[in-house]
A = this chain, B = another copy of it.
Amino acid sequence: MRPFLLLPGLLLAMLPAARADEGMWLFTKPPVRQVKEKYGFEITPAWLEHLQKSSVRFGSGGSGSFVSANGLILTNHHVGSGMIEKLSTKDRDLLKHGFYAATAGEELKCPDLELNVLMSIEDVTERVNAAVKDGQSPDEAATARRAVIAGIEKESFDATGFRSDVVTLFQGGAYHLYRYHRYTDVRLVFAPDAKAAAFGGDPDNFEFPRFCLDCCFFRAYENDAPAKTPHFLKWKTEGAKEGELVFTSGHPGRTNRSVTLAQLEALRDDGFPYRLEQIFRAETLLRAWADRDLENARRSKGSIVGTQNGRKAIMARLDGLLDPALMARKAASETKLREAAPAAFARIEAAEKDANAYQTRLRLLETGDAFGKGGLFSTARTLLRAADEASKPEGERLKEYREPARASLELDLFSTEPIYKNLETLRLANSLTFLCAKLGAADPTVQGILAGKSPDTRAAELIQGTTLEDIAVRRKLYEGGRDAIAASNDPLIQLAKLIDAESRKLRQRGEATEEVISQAHREIATARFARDGDSAYPDATFSLRLSYGVVKGYTDGKETVPAQTTFWGMHERSEAQGAIPPFDLSEEWKAEASKLDPLTPMNFISTNDITGGNSGSPVVNRDGDLVGLIFDSNAPGLVSDFFYSDEKGRAVSVHPAAIQAAMEKVYHADRVLKELTH
Contact = CB atoms under 8 A, between A and B. Distances in A.
Contacts of A319: 433, 454-456
A202 interface: yes
A291 B1 contact: no
A312 to B, nearest CB: 8
Interface in A470-525: none
B291 A201 contact: yes
B457 A1 contact: yes
Given A284-B280, A437-B277, A578-B294, A322 B269 contact: no
Interface string A419-460: 000000000000001001100111000010010111111001
B437 A324 contact: no
A280 B440 CA distance: 19
A138 interface: no
A582 interface: yes
Given A1-B456, A202-B288, A280-B281, A433 B293 contact: no
A106 B580 CA distance: 33
A291 B455 contact: no
Contacts of A441: 265, 268-269, 321-322
Contact of A284 (B284, B294, B450, B578): B284
Nearest to A281: B280
Copies of this chain present? 2
Interface size, A (range): 35 or more
Contacts of A283: 280, 284
Interface in A246-297: 265, 268-269, 273, 276-277, 279-281, 283-284, 287-288, 291-294
Given A437-B273, A441-B268, A441-B322, A291 B203 contact: yes
A308 interface: yes
B288 A436 contact: no
A211 B460 CA distance: 28
Contacts of A460: 1
A281 B279 CA distance: 9
A284 to B, nearest CB: 5
Given A269-B442, A437-B276, A582 B454 contact: no
A318 B269 contact: no
The CB with the most chain B CB atoms within 10 A, among A1, A201, A321, is that of A1
A176 to B, nearest CB: 35
A138 to B, nearest CB: 26
Contacts of A580: 294
Interface in A180-225: 201-204
A261 B628 CA distance: 63
Contacts of A42: none
Nearest to A280: B280
Contacts of A1: 454, 456-457, 460
Interface string A387-427: 00000000000000000000000000000000000000000
Nearest to A274: B437
Interface in A302-339: 308, 311-312, 315, 318-326
B454 A577 contact: no
A321 B582 CA distance: 38
Interface in A566-586: 577-578, 580, 582
A323 B454 contact: yes
A650 to B, nearest CB: 19
A273 B436 CA distance: 9
Contacts of A578: 294
B273 A322 contact: no
A284 B311 contact: yes
Contacts of A273: 436-437
A452 to B, nearest CB: 5
Contacts of A201: 291
Contacts of A265: 441-442
Contacts of A325: 452
Contact of A269 (B203, B293, B440): B440
Contacts of A323: 453-454, 457
Given A280-B280, A284-B284, A442-B269, A324 B453 contact: yes
A453 B269 CA distance: 16
Interface in A528-582: 577-578, 580, 582
A204 B292 CA distance: 7
Residue among A201, A280, A312, A447 facing the most chain B CB atoms (10 A cut-off) = A280
Contact of A322 (B203, B287, B454, B582): B454
Nearest to A436: B322
Contacts of A440: 269
Nearest to A315: B433
B277 A322 contact: no
Contacts of A292: 203-204
12 contacts: A5-B454, A203-B292, A273-B436, A277-B277, A279-B284, A280-B284, A319-B433, A319-B455, A319-B456, A322-B454, A323-B453, A324-B450
Given A320-B454, A323-B454, A324-B447, 18 more contacts: A1-B457, A1-B460, A268-B441, A273-B437, A276-B281, A280-B280, A287-B287, A288-B311, A288-B312, A318-B433, A319-B454, A319-B456, A321-B441, A322-B433, A322-B450, A323-B457, A324-B452, A325-B452
Interface of A: 1, 5, 201-204, 265, 268-269, 273, 276-277, 279-281, 283-284, 287-288, 291-294, 308, 311-312, 315, 318-326, 433, 436-437, 440-442, 447, 450, 452-457, 460, 577-578, 580, 582
Top 5 nearest A-B pairs by Cβ distance?
Answer: A323-B454, A273-B437, A280-B280, A203-B292, A203-B291
